[in-house]
Amino acid sequence: SQSSLIQLLKKKKEAREMEKAMAEKEEAFMGRMKVIADRWRDLHAKRAQLKAHVQRSGRTVQKCEELRIQALKINRKQSEENMKKDGELLRAKMELETLRKKHRKLCKKVQKYSIFKKYLEDVVEVSQFEDISEVTSQYKLLVRTRKDLLQSQHGHKQLTEQDKVLLEQYKAQKEAEMLQYKNELVQLKLRISQAQSDIPLWEAHWADIQDRTSKKMGKLWTIKLAIHNLFQ
């Protein structure tokens, strides 16, 4: 019918308008999607740049930290070296002061013994020595000889004292042995006198034993003869 046709045309028109709107919306959506994709790519690119920047910054920071640590080590090493040099300098100053004191003492000794130098020069002039060093060498030789002689005498004295001690010990030991031998001799003399006093008793006892033995032998001989006669 005519109304249905009109409605169909309206519907077709609405459908065309809706398709057009949908196409416009789709175009707008695609445009927005393109913008979003472009922004997403930009965002990824910025993210990659930021990541690279962070890595570079991290390496820079690490390098700076390593340089700082290395600088601290160098600083500490220089401080230790400076302390060591200060200590060496202090020791050198102390040694220098000690050497100065020794030098002053030696200067005083030189002034003190200068008179002996003059005396040695006079000795060289009036003696067979050629210079002072020869005189001092001869003096040192005499001092060593005297020292060796004193040591030898001291050693001989010590040996003599040791020999005396050993002799006293030997005498004491021999006296103890002689006393022991004397005691043993007294004991032996007592035993001999006791044995000599026991000799008559033992002799009488031995004679008694011999008498008994002879009597027993006589009895035994009589018994043997009796037995022999009995068998006969």
Q: Are 148 and 159 in contact (CB under 8 A)?
A: no
**% of the chain beyond a pLDDT of 90:** 0
Q: Are 118 and 124 in contact (CB under 8 A)?
A: no
User: What residues contact 127, with CB distance under 8 A and at least 6 apart?
Assistant: 135
Length reported for the chain: 232
Is pLDDT at 1 greater than 60 in this prediction?
no
Are 132 and 124 spatial neighbours (Cβ–Cβ below 8 Å)?
A: yes
pLDDT tens profile 109-158: 777 766 666 766 676 676 666 676 777 777 788 888 888 888 888 877 77
Q: Which amino acid is at 180?
A: Q
Residue 232: DSSP 8-state = -
Write the pLDDT tens digit of every residue in 35-71.
888 888 888 888 888 888 878 877 777 787 888 888 8
Beta-carbon contacts of 131 under 8 Å, excluding residues fewer than 6 positions away, are 124
| pLDDT tens column, 148-158 | 888 888 877 77
Residue 123 Cα distances to 112, 132, 189, angstroms: 19, 8, 83
Residue 132 CB contacts under 8 Å (≥ 6 apart), including other chains: 117, 120, 121, 124
Helices (H) and strands (E) in the chain, counts: 2, 0
* 61-110 pLDDT tens trace: 778 788 888 888 888 888 888 888 888 888 888 888 888 888 888 878 77
